[in-house]
């Protein structure tokens, strides 16, 4: 039979699963000998059983009785004793901190009798009645589910009657009357009396905390933070200490260092004569923690000592809650504190310098997501800003533009060169054009998994979502803030997708110093602490990682930037854009060619152009491998739109003008039109169906490489065949490649220019028969974008904006499989392909070149399954380096 209750002295900080974060850390502090009010913890296991069965598990009540008795003995008082009551708080606390999401009830044990004893003991009537009215208020709201406004309205009325706005002006009599009023509110709205039995109060409060795990706001928070829904909360029962016993008492919160910058110092707030949440609720102005030194030097010094103890013990920034009861300091909570991305890096290196952690641990404490966050351009911190509201930071970045309220206007204004921010209540698939046209998206509803957020993140577009204080009036083309500020269509706003802030007017944008450092325009050791910290940790990541990091790039510019960002080669150079623009006409002719001769002519015209492209890239990536993928997309993508061309030809015919070229083109476009282009004539199929096409591309690769090699430039081309499903396809192309390589122009110093031939693994079949395919491939590159599409049977372009947000909302996906690799399904195929391939060819080089190459979780997976490199977009290269390092420590 499991145990459901643990004394503080029985737990430690590593038992967050069972005791919740708050309980585990209270136990840890108790065992460190810090002044924690005694108490015990009911486990998350009890909560899960309660939520499953709707009742306490067998044995829990007896264990509570037993631990309560021990607590009563230790404190020398009994819970709610009419002559000398023990009071307790009943506090929620899950494995992952969910600030403010669940419930806590203070002062449990007060009733009509014990309130008098409390008053006598403290020698303070006002305090006792204030504590009692707080209990009825909190109990009424959280346990009995009464709207909290009923209570706060009554408090306001009492203050008004007294002619004051300050709760300190209310006296014992006022609070005693408030207790009566509150009891009336309970009777009216809950249909029962406020329970006088202390144990009944305790049990009901415990159940309410259990139930608060499933409150709508807790559910929403978990979805957004990707916290599992089945963990449950623990409940800590803590003897009350009182910060509301006069001006020599108070309550406060503190950080062991600045959570925004990591700077050491005294950070916190303190409020005299106050209890619990008064500090954060902002009922009175708090004092800076430094003022406590004047007010109560003994407690202040002790607090500073304790903070040092905690930092040394947790070896990290901690935040704490404390209370001073008549000059005696009590610790009520601690945890490793949340921090900004910048502070994560600076704190980690500070702790290294202080000898508290080593560089491996520093690397573990920062994340690729934090680094990515630091790489976005940002609003100038020193610029003057007018804050309109704050929403959810749904997709990072800084966007400035004219507010527009519908997609058509967004598209129209963007077309005329204006920057716009699309403002909607929420978006739906019809808004896609507008989202693409806008520099940023702002919505008043929905969170980080809403349509707007998912699509914006997919497009790398700045978005702030769920700014619910905004009244968006699409019909009137304006929005209104809660302070009544109106913003009409065309007025410029600035939105910060990194912190969720929305400003009126144009806020100047500055480049990230971290990017400037990567670019080499800002140097380490020149006074920017963040840059120094990032540089040190990146260096350690590079020394630690086993995975190489390459880039997906198909221009010399992108290649150069990626190289500065640390790319160790190109993992995917797509060739399709090289067929667009002015070259479209040549491609059209190639497709339309009726004779071998005509085809050869267009190919010959394309050859020198392709050679130029490759020469520029090879030069930029001198000394590093460059993987070039032969043409992949369906041919019709290079031809005019079928509908538009049909209309054009029909109109011409009506006018009696027959243009044979357009007519032929229409026939070809029709012939090549596919219902399902993603599953149609593309990749290696195209290479086989259009003779000479791949040969031309290979010729361009080997000839430009041979020319450069002859000039002494070190080139390492890798020719990659896309969409292979069977080894026969690869053999056919390999034979064609061998012929080209045999041509004298592909030679340098009398031998073929060094190169490799490999394939993409992007069809489930290819992963399954990888052992056969490896007979003809010197390397594999897992194309996880297509592999995800072909494994799931959905096309990214079609589904991301349609049902994905619904799937995320309902929890069918925790995260989009295009964002983070579906390890169970697609990952299984990657693992299989890697294993099978190496069975045939032990030195087979393995890489991945989908978007997943820059996704932190996916990088850890690729490390685990033994790939040689990941390849991702230029801006993700630093993220992949960092995560590859983290995967290896
Ligand atoms: P949350 O998780 O929302 O911070 P807590 O359980 O920490 O909720 O409690 C809410 C407030 O009540 C905090 O300010 C806390 O310090 C205070 N509090 C909790 N238990 C006690 C206690 N036993 N004595 C005095 N204050 C308490
Ligand atoms: Mg707390
Ligand atoms: Mg592909």
User: What is the pLDDT, as a whole number, of residue 447?
Assistant: 74
CA distance 446 to 454: 11
What is the position in ligand 1's atom list of the atom closest to the CA of 278?
Answer: 14
Give the pair of three-digit tokens for residue 50. 């309660």
Q: Which residues pair with 250 in a beta bridge?
A: 272, 324
**Pocket mutation for ligand 1, best pick of 333, 334, 335, 338 (most atoms within 8 Å of C-beta):** 333
Of all protein residues, the one whose alpha carbon is nearest to atom 6 of ligand 1 is 91
Q: Which of 338, 462, 304 has its CA nearest to residue 391?
A: 462
Give the pair of three-digit tokens for residue 497. 């997708």
What is the position in ligand 1's atom list of the atom closest to the CA of 241?
Answer: 24
The C-alpha R_g of the chain, in whole angstroms, comes to: 33
What CATH homologous superfamily does 5-239 map to? ATP-grasp fold, A domain (3.30.1490.20)
Give the pair of three-digit tokens for residue 862. 């690729």
CA distance 222 to 98: 8
Which residues have C-beta atoms less than 6 Å from ligand 1? 37, 89, 91, 100, 104, 106, 238-241, 276-277, 321, 323, 332-333
CATH T-level fold of 545-634+674-888: TIM Barrel (3.20.20)
User: What is the pLDDT, as a whole number, of residue 166?
Assistant: 84
Q: Which residues pair with 782 in a beta bridge?
A: 761, 848
> Which ligand sits closest to the CA of 92?
1
Q: Which of 565, 569, 681, 701 has its CA nearest to residue 630?
A: 701
What are φ and ψ of residue 4, in 5° steps?
-110, -10
Q: Which of 38, 51, 189, 198 has its CA nearest to residue 118?
A: 198
CATH T-level fold of 377-510: Glucose Oxidase; domain 1 (3.50.30)
Question: Distances in Å between the alpha carbon of 113 and those of 65, 81, 171, 332, 690?
Answer: 22, 8, 19, 27, 94
Q: Is the dihedral of CA 504, 510, 513, 519 positive or negative?
A: positive
User: What is the pLDDT, as a whole number, of residue 752?
Assistant: 95
**Pocket mutation for ligand 1, best pick of 8, 71, 104, 135 (most atoms within 8 Å of C-beta):** 104
Block means of pLDDT (10 residues each) for the chain, length 889 residues?
92 96 97 98 97 96 97 96 96 87 91 97 94 96 93 94 88 96 97 97 97 85 78 96 93 88 84 82 79 96 96 93 96 90 92 94 95 90 92 90 96 95 89 91 84 79 92 95 94 94 95 93 92 97 98 93 96 88 82 85 92 96 97 82 90 88 86 88 92 94 97 97 98 97 95 97 98 98 96 88 81 86 97 98 96 94 98 94 98
Listed in sequence order, the residues at least 6 apart from 740 whose beta carbon sits closer than 8 Å to its beta carbon are: 695, 698, 699, 702, 746
Provide the residue ranges of all domains of the chain, joining segments of one domain with +.
5-239, 250-336, 377-510, 545-634+674-888, 635-673
First to last CA, the chain: 39
Whether the CB-CB separation of 91 and 238 falls below 8 Å is answered with: yes
Task: Give the active site residues.
Answer: 451, 849
What CATH homologous superfamily does 250-336 map to? ATP-grasp fold, B domain (3.30.470.20)
The CA 809 to ligand 3 mean position distance, Å, reads 28
């Amino acid at each position: 039979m499991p145990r459901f209750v643990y004394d503080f002295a029985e737990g430690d900080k590593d038992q967050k699963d069972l005791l919740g974060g708050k309980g585990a850390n209270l136990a840890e502090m108790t065992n460190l000998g810090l002044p924690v009010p005694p108490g015990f913890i009911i486990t998350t296991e009890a909560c899960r059983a309660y939520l499953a069965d709707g009742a306490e598990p067998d044995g829990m009540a007896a264990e509570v009785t037993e631990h309560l008795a021990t607590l009563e003995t230790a404190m020398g008082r009994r819970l709610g004793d009419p002559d000398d009551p023990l009071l307790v708080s009943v506090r929620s606390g899950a494995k992952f901190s969910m600030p403010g999401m669940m419930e806590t009830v203070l002062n449990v044990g007060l009733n009509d009798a014990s309130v008098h004893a409390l008053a006598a003991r403290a020698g303070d009537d006002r305090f006792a009645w204030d504590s009692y009215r707080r209990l009825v208020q909190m109990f009424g709201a959280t346990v009995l589910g009464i709207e909290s406004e009923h209570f706060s309205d009554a408090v306001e009325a009492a203050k008004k009657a007294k002619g004051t706005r300050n709760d300190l002006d209310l006296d014992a009599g006022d609070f005693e009357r408030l207790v009566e009023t509150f009891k009336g509110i309970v009777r009216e709205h809950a249909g029962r009396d406020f329970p006088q039995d202390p144990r009944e109060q305790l049990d009901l409060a415990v159940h309410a905390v259990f139930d608060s795990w499933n409150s709508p706001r807790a559910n929403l928070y978990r979805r957004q933070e990707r916290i599992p829904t089945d963990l449950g909360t623990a409940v800590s029962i803590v003897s009350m200490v009182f910060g509301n016993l006069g001006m020599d008492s108070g309550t406060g919160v503190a950080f062991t260092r600045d959570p925004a910058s990591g700077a050491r110092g005294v950070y916190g707030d303190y409020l005299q004569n106050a209890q619990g949440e008064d500090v954060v609720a902002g009922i009175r102005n708090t004092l800076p923690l430094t003022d406590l030194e004047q007010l109560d030097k003994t407690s202040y010094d002790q607090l500073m000592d304790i903070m040092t103890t905690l930092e040394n013990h947790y070896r990290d920034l901690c935040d704490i809650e404390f209370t001073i009861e008549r000059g005696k300091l009590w610790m009520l909570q601690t945890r490793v504190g949340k921090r900004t991305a910048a502070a994560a890096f600076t704190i980690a290196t500070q702790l290294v310098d202080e000898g508290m952690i080593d560089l491996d641990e520093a690397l573990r404490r920062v994340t690729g997501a934090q680094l990515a966050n630091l790489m976005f351009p940002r609003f100038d911190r020193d610029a003057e800003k007018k804050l309109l509201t704050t929403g959810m930071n749904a997709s990072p970045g800084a966007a400035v533009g004219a507010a527009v309220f519908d997609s058509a206007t967004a598209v129209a204004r963007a077309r005329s060169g204006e920057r716009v921010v699309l403002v909607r209540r929420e978006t739906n698939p019809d808004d896609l054009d507008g989202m693409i046209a806008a520099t940023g998206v702002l919505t008043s509803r929905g969170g980080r998994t809403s349509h707007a957020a998912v699509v914006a993140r997919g497009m790398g577009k700045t978005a702030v979502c769920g700014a619910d204080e905004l009244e968006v009036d699409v019909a009137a083309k304006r929005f209104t803030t809660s302070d009544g500020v109106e913003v009409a269509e065309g007025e410029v706003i600035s939105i910060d997708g990194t912190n969720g802030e929305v400003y009126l007017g144009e806020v100047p944008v500055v480049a990230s110093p971290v990017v400037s450092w990567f670019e080499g325009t800002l140097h380490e050791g020149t006074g920017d602490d963040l840059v120094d910290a990032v540089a040190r940790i990146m260096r350690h990541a590079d020394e630690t990682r086993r995975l190489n990091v390459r880039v997906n790039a198909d221009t010399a510019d992108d290649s150069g930037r990626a190289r500065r960002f640390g790319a160790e080669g190109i993992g995917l150079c797509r060739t399709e854009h090289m067929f667009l623009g002015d070259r479209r006409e040549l491609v059209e002719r190639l497709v339309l060619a009726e004779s071998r001769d005509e085809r050869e002519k267009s190919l010959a015209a394309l050859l020198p152009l392709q050679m130029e492209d490759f020469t520029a890239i090879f030069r930029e990536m001198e000394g590093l491998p460059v993987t070039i993928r032969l043409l992949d997309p369906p041919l019709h993508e290079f031809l005019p739109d079928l509908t538009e061309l049909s209309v054009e030809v029909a109109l011409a015919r009506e006018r009696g003008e027959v243009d044979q070229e357009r007519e032929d083109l229409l026939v070809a476009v029709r012939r090549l039109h596919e219902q399902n282009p993603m599953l149609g004539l593309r990749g290696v199929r195209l290479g086989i169906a259009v003779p000479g096409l791949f040969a031309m591309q290979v010729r361009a690769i080997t000839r430009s490489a041979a020319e450069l090699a002859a000039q002494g430039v070190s080139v390492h081309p890798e020719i990659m065949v896309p969409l292979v499903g069977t080894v026969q396809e690869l053999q056919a192309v390999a034979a064609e490649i061998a012929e080209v390589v045999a041509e004298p122009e592909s030679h340098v110093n009398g031998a073929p220019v060094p190169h490799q031939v490999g394939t993409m693994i992007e069809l489930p079949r290819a992963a399954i028969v990888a052992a056969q395919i490896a007979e003809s491939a010197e390397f594999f590159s897992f194309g996880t974008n297509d592999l995800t599409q072909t494994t799931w049977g959905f096309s990214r372009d079609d589904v991301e904006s349609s049902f994905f947000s619904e799937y995320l909302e309902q929890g069918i996906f925790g995260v989009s499989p295009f964002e983070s690799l579906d390890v169970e399904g697609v990952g299984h195929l990657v693992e299989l392909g890697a294993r099978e391939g190496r069975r045939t060819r032990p030195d087979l080089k393995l890489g991945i070149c989908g978007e997943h190459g820059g996704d932190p979780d996916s990088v850890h997976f690729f490390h685990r399954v033994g790939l040689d490199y990941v390849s991702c977009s230029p801006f993700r290269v630093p993220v992949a380096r960092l995560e590859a390092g983290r995967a290896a420590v």
